[in-house]
């Protein structure tokens, strides 16, 4: 069977790729009952043009586009390079939020549900090398109680129009927010590679498995190349272990990457396909209340983040990516969580190269009806037929499979977070999560697993934490409760953390804490929303973290201000950023920098 997600396209001696980013023609389906089939013909002259990659919502000055619920279509012409005859070629979209369809001329060749992972269409039999074709990609942004993340489509009382609502606190940006590629592979090719590393004394072990598209008589050859370009180990066979003497470990803040080069060779000793993966040798373990990387306790400093910026929405952008990593470095952050969905693959590769540690999260955010304020009755039960049900659970399983399939080889990824703030204190939570935790462990027995626990599911009420390795807690004492009263909040926070420590005796990471802060608003009394309050609140949390032994890390919510849905709780978005949306530091940034850059070990 085929791997869920094929290797990221690469240009090697046997493979080629063409980047399809740029301006695509763009159109909306007019409504849910729209029966037009825009992919069957070229879009009319004068059609809108939309940049790829970018979310489409904020590009145009048009509320109908911004608020659109349903399908949109992107279209462009593409030529398959002449030299590709004899190869297999595919179109790959790195993401389509949340449901994508790839059409080649009038043919639907691929369909995928799940907004933050890649999917591809094999177009080999539909277009000849050297020929031009019409590529249309449909993207649908609808969320229901059976999608991940979940949402709800409501019907406007007065107009009958469809309105998308959802349970998560970031704008439902949609479109082709990551790159689109046309790429070639040889007919027989390397489909998947899995490398798991171990360390024995000074020796690094790479346990690997290579999957080839069809099992004819090829041979698999492996070379491991160090950063100086020297081959340091070799092996052959589709499965095995490569040993590296005097290994350079991948370490937080000191990345070291080997190129793991795979070649398949045919019976006449000709090279058929070659692919190269960057691999860091490191180990990850939980030992008692410590989180260990290379057997050394690791204390997480950093943020929950978002893929978010003005105008481009969730569109991947190299300038923002590099700048954001620069800011993390400046402030002394050694890690982040991909709250609340898998980030662009380029970001994961960059984290590998920068030595930044990542908690990698699925898009399962908002499995918590109570957060909506729905009152009594069946409708308010999160785990029930009309809300989060078996179909949602199946979609969630798929999201876990795809995340692990895509990101399993990144040394930066040290833990899987399978959900954010589910109603883990409600009836049905255990039945829902037990199989998911089991699945994640089967798919990757080498990394710890976690989920980000919501404040309501206290150590006394949570029903699922024993299924996981690390207690990741999101807490807002002093903001959503004890608002503005940091003395009360301090006592409440300490009680909660000690409760977790005593009950579970596992590492605790505070994966969210923070306060909405309007840049430029000041208060001598340190009142909420001011820059002083954000700083004082973070300081208070840090005092408590330093007193509680099991606390193994602190991720402030959020790295930067970000857009949310329109509502009365948010003024042009969530303002808990330590940086503004355009990445200017608020006052607290300087205090975080002082704490984090001076931190050798905790406290």
Q: Could you give the CA distance from residue 536 to residue 559 in angstroms, rounded to a whole number?
A: 17
Kindly tell me which of 124 and 420 has the beta carbon lying closer to ligand GCB. 420
**CA distances in angstroms from 60 to 139, 279, 493, 534, listed in the order given:** 17, 41, 44, 34
Buried b (16+ CB within 10 A) or exposed e, 218-251: bebbbbbbbeeeeebbebeebeeebebeebbbbb
Kindly tell me which of 251 and 574 has the beta carbon lying closer to ligand GCB. 574
Q: Least distance from C-beta 421 to ligand GCB, angstroms?
A: 5
Beta-carbon contacts of 525 under 8 Å, excluding residues fewer than 6 positions away, are none
Positive or negative torsion for Cα 364, 365, 368, 369: negative
Q: Please identify which of the residues 307, 345, 421, 532 carries the catalytic annotation.
A: 421
- Residues binding ligand GCB (CB under 6 A): 169, 340, 420-421, 474, 512, 557, 574, 576
For residues 451, 456, 462, 464, the Cα torsion angle rounded to the nearest 10 degrees is: -30
Q: Is 167 helix (H, G, I), strand (E, B) or coil?
A: coil
**Helix/strand number for the chain, H first, E second:** 8, 30
- E strands, 318-356, where? 335-337
421 catalytic residue (yes or no)? yes
Q: Least distance from C-beta 451 to ligand GCB, angstroms?
A: 11
Kindly tell me which of 8 and 576 has the beta carbon lying closer to ligand GCB. 576
Query: What value does the CA radius of gyration of the chain take, rounded to a whole number of Å?
Result: 24
Burial of 384 (0-12, 13-18, 19+ CB in 10 A): middle
Kindly tell me which of 305 and 410 has the beta carbon lying closer to ligand GCB. 305
Own/partner long-range contacts of 99-104 (Cβ < 8 Å, ≥24 apart): 99/139, 99/140, 99/141, 99/142, 100/137, 100/138, 100/139, 100/140, 101/137, 101/138, 102/135, 102/136, 102/137, 103/39, 103/134, 103/135, 103/136, 103/137, 103/138, 104/133, 104/134, 104/135
512 catalytic residue (yes or no)? yes
CB 175 within 8 A of CB 70: no
- Partnered with residue 219 across adjacent β-strands are 265
Kindly tell me which of 127 and 429 has the beta carbon lying closer to ligand GCB. 429
Which region holds residue 373: left if phi is over 0, alpha if psi is between -120 and 50, else beta? left
Kindly tell me which of 273 and 360 has the beta carbon lying closer to ligand GCB. 360
Q: Please identify which of the residues 512, 531, 532, 554 carries the catalytic annotation.
A: 512
DSSP3 helix / strand / coil % (the chain, rounded to 5): 20, 35, 45
Tokens of 472: 């990741």
**Residue nearest ligand GCB by beta-carbon distance:** 169
Kindly tell me which of 57 and 563 has the beta carbon lying closer to ligand GCB. 563
Kindly tell me which of 501 and 512 has the beta carbon lying closer to ligand GCB. 512
Catalytic (active-site) positions: 421, 512
């Amino acid at each position: 069977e085929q791997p869920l997600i094929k290797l990221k396209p690469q240009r090697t001696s046997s493979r080629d790729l063409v980047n399809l980013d740029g301006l695509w023609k763009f159109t909306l389906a007019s409504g849910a009952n729209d029966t037009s089939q825009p992919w069957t013909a070229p879009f009319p002259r004068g059609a809108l043009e939309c940049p790829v990659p970018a979310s489409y919502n904020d590009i145009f000055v048009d509320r109908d586009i911004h608020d659109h619920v349903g399908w949109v279509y992107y279209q462009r012409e593409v030529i398959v390079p002449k030299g590709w005859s004899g190869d297999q070629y595919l179109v790959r979209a790195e993401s389509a939020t949340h449901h994508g369809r790839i059409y080649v001329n009038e043919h639907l060749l691929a369909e995928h549900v799940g907004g933050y992972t890649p999917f591809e269409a094999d177009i080999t039999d539909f277009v000849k090398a050297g020929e031009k074709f019409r590529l249309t990609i449909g993207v649908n942004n609808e969320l229901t109680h059976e999608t991940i993340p979940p949402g709800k489509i409501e019907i406007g009382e007065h107009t009958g129009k469809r309105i998308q609502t959802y349970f998560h606190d970031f704008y439902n940006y949609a479109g082709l927010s990551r790159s689109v590629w046309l790429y070639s592979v040889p007919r027989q090719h390397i489909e998947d590679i899995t490398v798991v590393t171990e360390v024995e004394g000074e020796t690094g072990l790479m346990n690997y498995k290579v999957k080839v598209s069809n099992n004819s008589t090829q041979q698999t050859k492996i070379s491991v190349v160090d950063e100086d370009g020297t081959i340091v180990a070799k092996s052959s066979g589709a499965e095995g272990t490569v040993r590296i003497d005097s290994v350079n470990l991948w370490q937080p803040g000191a990345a070291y990457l080997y190129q793991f080069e795979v070649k398949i060779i045919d019976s006449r000793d000709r090279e058929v396909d070659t692919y190269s993966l960057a691999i860091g040798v490191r180990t990850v373990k939980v030992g008692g209340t410590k989180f260990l990387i290379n057997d050394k306790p690791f204390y997480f400093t950093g943020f929950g983040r978002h893929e978010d910026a003005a105008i481009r929405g969730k569109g991947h952008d190299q300038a923002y990516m590099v700048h954001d990593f620069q800011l993390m470095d400046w402030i002394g952050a050694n890690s982040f969580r991909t709250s609340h969905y898998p980030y662009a693959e380029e970001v994961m590769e960059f984290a590998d190269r920068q030595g930044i540690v990542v908690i990698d999260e699925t898009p399962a955010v908002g499995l918590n009806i109570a957060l909506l304020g729905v009152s009594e009755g069946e409708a308010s039960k999160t785990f029930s037929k009309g809300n989060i049900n078996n179909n949602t659970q199946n979609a969630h399983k798929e999201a876990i499979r795809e995340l692990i399939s895509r990101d399993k080889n990144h040394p930066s990824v040290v833990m899987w977070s399978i959900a954010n703030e589910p109603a883990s204190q409600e009836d049905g939570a255990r039945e829902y999560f037990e199989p998911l935790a089991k699945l994640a462990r089967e798919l990757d027995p080498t990394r710890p697993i976690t989920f980000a626990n919501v404040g309501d599911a206290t150590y006394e009420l949570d029903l699922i934490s024993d299924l996981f390795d690390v207690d990741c807690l999101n807490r807002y004492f002093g903001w959503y409760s004890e608002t503005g009263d940091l003395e009360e909040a301090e006592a409440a926070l300490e009680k909660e953390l000690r409760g977790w420590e005593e009950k579970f005796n596992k590492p605790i990471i505070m994966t969210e804490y923070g306060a909405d802060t309007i840049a430029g608003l000041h208060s001598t009394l340190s009142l909420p929303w001011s820059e002083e309050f954000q700083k004082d609140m973070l300081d208070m949390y840090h005092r408590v973290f330093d007193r509680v032994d099991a606390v193994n890390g602190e991720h402030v919510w959020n790295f930067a201000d970000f857009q949310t849905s329109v509502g009365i709780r948010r003024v042009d978005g969530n303002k808990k950023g330590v940086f503004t949306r355009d990445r200017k530091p608020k006052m607290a940034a300087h205090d975080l920098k002082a704490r984090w850059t001076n931190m050798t070990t905790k406290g």
